[in-house]
Amino acid sequence: MVTTIVAGGQWGDEGKGKIVSYLSLKDNPAVVVRAGVGPNAGHTVHFRGKKYGLRQIPCGFVNEKCRLLIGPGTLVDPAILLREVEETGCWGRLGVDRNCAVIEPHHIEEDRTTGGKIGTTGTGCGPANVARVKREAKLASEIPELQQFLTDVPLELHQVAENGGDILVEGSQGFGLSLIHGTYPFVTSKDTTASTLAADVGLGPTEVDEVLLVFKAYPTRVGNGPFPTELSPEEAERMGIVEYGTVTGRKRRIGRFDFEMARRASMINGATQLAITCIDRLFHCPPVRRFEDLPPEAQKFVREVEERVGVPVTLISTGPDIWDVIDLRGERS
């Protein structure tokens, strides 16, 4: 029985969706539970020739045997949730905690009119979390369209653990966007590290076995705020890297791997394993599945990350498809 938290080590969009979908199919967890802020996140999954940009439903939907849950700390926008349930066909296996706070149209309106300085996603998450702190938020239990999904997520997780099932916690955003540890005030409306992801779903610190921290081979950032290793758009383009946001469609800022930040993110998340994504885009290599098949510079980079961060790299993503992964867990963890 293993409980694993997947968290982001940079400014979000590290490819957590890809990693969670891979682990869901490969490891067959009993439950995949979504944590993090809410529908400000977009998790991309390429599955059976289709591209999904999931903002509410856990990426574990790719494995029909997985129960899918949304923890009470995560915000729910009922319209987005229902759309994604339809798109993924996960009706019978989704559970939403009755204590999830709900995003209302006026939160979105407020976010769009006041979020400019920070460059928020305009999805209403900040104002909805403010309403929660002010004890004014509506909860999922009060929303008629959500009744069919309501459950007690912490209780379900503890029952799964008692029965020996594996739990995969899908975090969102990334270390640099944490309200506590990130580049304040250019941050999201909550902490984004593993401790809070555990609290989001109702797991205590002693119940977590593995923290898998995900890094992109080149960090990206959308919205405003400091980015010490940022490249100029021309430099990024010369390297052949252009990315657009899943939720907002904004062009992502691109940077060089920041070892100092990675080390700090790993320390504060209590990382036990690291994943590196988009290695193919930095080193212009095909989506290989064996470490030996990576170009020597890419192998050297992975070893340097391990050495300087001080945590083993167990997964390397070499392409957007779910199975484009070098899985080193047998060898290294």
Catalytic residue among 27, 43, 107, 293, which? Answer: 43
Is residue 42 involved in binding Mg ion (CB under 5 A)? yes
Widest distance between CA atoms in the chain: 56
66 φ/ψ angles, rounded to the nearest 5 degrees: -80, 135
CB closer to ligand IMP out of 39 and 154: 39
Q: Which helix (H) or strand (E) holds 217?
A: none
Is residue 74 involved in binding ligand IMP (CB under 6 A)? no
Residues in touch with ligand GTP (CB under 6 A) = 8, 12-18, 41-44, 46, 172-174, 246, 277-278, 280-281, 317-320
Residue 184 has, within 13 A of its CA and on its CB side, a CA count of 8
CB closer to ligand GTP out of 160 and 282: 282
Three-state SS at 270: coil
Stretch that binds Mg ion, among 8-16, 77-85, 124-132, 216-224 (CB under 5 A): 8-16
Q: What is the DSSP string of 96-146?
A: EETT-BB--HHHHHHHHHH-TTTT--SSSHHHHHHHHHTT---BGGG-GGG
Is residue 125 involved in binding ligand IMP (CB under 6 A)? yes
CA 79 – CA 152 distance, rounded (Å): 21
Stretch that binds ligand IMP, among 35-43, 44-52, 157-165, 205-213 (CB under 6 A): 35-43
Q: Does the annotation count 158 as an active-site position?
A: no
Give 3-state DSSP helix, strand, coil % of the chain, rounded to 5.
40, 20, 40
Q: How far is the CB of 130 from Mg ion (least distance, A)?
A: 22
On whether the CB atoms of residues 108 and 20 are closer than 8 A, the answer is no
Stretch that binds Mg ion, among 71-79, 244-252, 267-275, 290-298 (CB under 5 A): 244-252
CB closer to ligand IMP out of 4 and 172: 172
Q: Which does 188 bind (CB under 5 to 8 A by kind): ligand GTP, ligand IMP, Mg ion, none?
A: ligand IMP
CA 322 – CA 47 distance, rounded (Å): 7
Q: How many amino acids of this chain bind Mg ion (CB under 5 A)?
A: 3
Q: Does the annotation count 13 as an active-site position?
A: yes
On whether the CB atoms of residues 53 and 247 are closer than 8 A, the answer is yes
Q: How far is the CB of 46 from Mg ion (least distance, A)?
A: 14
Is residue 176 involved in binding ligand IMP (CB under 6 A)? no
Kind of pairing between the strands at 210-216 and 273-277: parallel
Is residue 53 involved in binding ligand IMP (CB under 6 A)? no
CA 332 – CA 270 distance, rounded (Å): 18
- Residues marked active site are found at 13, 43
Binding interface with ligand IMP (CB under 6 A): 11-13, 37, 40-41, 118-121, 123, 125-126, 172-173, 177, 186, 188-189, 222-223
Binding interface with Mg ion (CB under 5 A): 13, 42, 246
